[in-house]
């Protein structure tokens, strides 16, 4: 049997389209004159799935259909050989036998008919000039180009047609889909909505885009009010903290600390994270040389008086 005869038989068969695709793909790997797939071209399930564009489970299902239709024979390695030696399946192209196939059955290929003249070479090979088929024992023999793998101890390469089909290699475990975490919506609370709306109004009043009050805002506001602290947090205290960290332009110009915190507190999660630092910054005493100009002048620092120029230059003139 050559590849042309096999392809013609596949095209004229009643196989479904996916099964034909698999058979024609395997025939493209075989030797054109003998129809035997060399050992170095024997594909694995992964390689055959890539060639045909099918998924692994779909490919395995349609390979069984091709086997049931007697268009291919699959010889799978043992589990130890598949996992340890990385061996793959061996595929053999065959033609179905039946009353309408026009082919000699496999059991008659090695036994010539009574009225058939068999020469010495033909009796050894078990073929006739009219059959044009290679017997099963020659398809897997080393002389015909098929490498016999030593790890398959349980199967006899010379009687592959009568050997029981070995177990298939275990399938690779499919990856479990990752579960997406979805938080439950926060229950409505008046105090939570009040401080969230208050912070959003302050940010918008300073000329920024009004932030959206999301479920994360409400969750952080609830935790800010409910989580245990040495000093209890109330709605009024949170509002005073928002007023201090979101000053107007005129207030920010008078106080450098409040001007520093205004662009850094732009959301409720950040307010909860920095609440303790805001409380300490708002209550710390002003030091001389910092803060607004009025506080600096009230600290006792005074600029030199240059109204009397004669005395000023007399003090700066070097002594002889």
3-state secondary structure of 68: helix
Closest CA to 74 of 96, 103, 50, 42: 42
**Which segments of the chain have a pLDDT < 50?**
102-129, 131, 133-141, 144, 146, 148, 151-162, 291-303
CA distance 34 to 144: 8
What tens digit of pLDDT does each residue of 96-150 get?
876 555 444 444 444 444 444 444 444 444 444 454 544 444 444 455 454 545 5
When the candidates are 1.10.1660, 1.10.10, 3.30.450, 3.40.30, the CATH number that belongs to 3-113+123-159 is 1.10.10
* pLDDT value of residue 173: 61
pTM: 0.37
* pLDDT value of residue 156: 47
3-state secondary structure of 192: helix
Q: Report CA dihedral (266, 267, 272, 275) to the nearest 10 degrees.
A: 20
CA distance 169 to 89: 9
* pLDDT value of residue 107: 43
* pLDDT value of residue 73: 84
Domain boundaries, the chain: 3-113+123-159, 190-287
Whole-angstrom CA distances from 306 to 52, 159, 298, 312 are 95, 119, 21, 7
* pLDDT value of residue 108: 44
CA distance 27 to 19: 12
């Amino acid at each position: 049997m050559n590849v042309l005869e096999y392809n013609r038989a596949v095209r004229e068969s009643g196989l479904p389209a996916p099964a034909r695709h698999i058979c024609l793909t395997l025939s493209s790997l075989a030797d054109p004159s003998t129809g035997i797939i060399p050992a170095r071209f024997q594909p694995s399930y992964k390689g055959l799935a890539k060639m045909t564009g099918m998924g692994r489970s779909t490919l395995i299902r349609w390979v069984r259909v091709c086997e049931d239709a007697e268009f291919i024979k699959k010889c799978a390695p043992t589990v130890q050989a598949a996992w340890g030696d990385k061996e793959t399946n061996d595929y053999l192209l065959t033609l179905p036998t039946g009353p309408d196939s026009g082919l000699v059955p496999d059991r008659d290929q090695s036994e010539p008919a009574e009225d058939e003249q068999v020469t010495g070479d033909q009796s050894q090979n078990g073929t006739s000039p009219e059959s044009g088929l290679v017997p099963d024992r020659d398809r897997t023999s080393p002389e015909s180009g098929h490498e016999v793998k030593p790890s398959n101890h349980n199967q006899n390469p010379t009687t592959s047609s009568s050997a029981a089909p070995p177990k298939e290699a275990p399938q690779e475990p499919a990856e479990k889909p990752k579960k997406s975490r979805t938080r439950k919506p926060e229950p409505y609370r008046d105090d939570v909505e009040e401080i969230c709306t208050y912070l959003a109004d302050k940010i918008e009043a300073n000329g920024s885009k009004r932030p959206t009050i999301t479920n994360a805002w409400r969750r952080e506001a609830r935790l800010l009010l409910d989580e245990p602290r040495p000093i209890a947090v109330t709605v009024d205290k949170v509002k005073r903290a928002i007023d201090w960290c979101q000053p107007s332009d005129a207030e920010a110009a008078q106080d450098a600390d409040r001007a520093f915190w205004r662009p850094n507190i732009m959301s409720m999660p950040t307010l909860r994270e920095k609440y303790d630092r805001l409380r300490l910054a708002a209550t710390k005493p002003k030091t001389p040389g910092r803060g607004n100009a009025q506080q600096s002048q009230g600290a006792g620092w005074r600029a030199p008086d240059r109204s009397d120029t004669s005395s000023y230059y007399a003090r700066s003139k070097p002594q002889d």
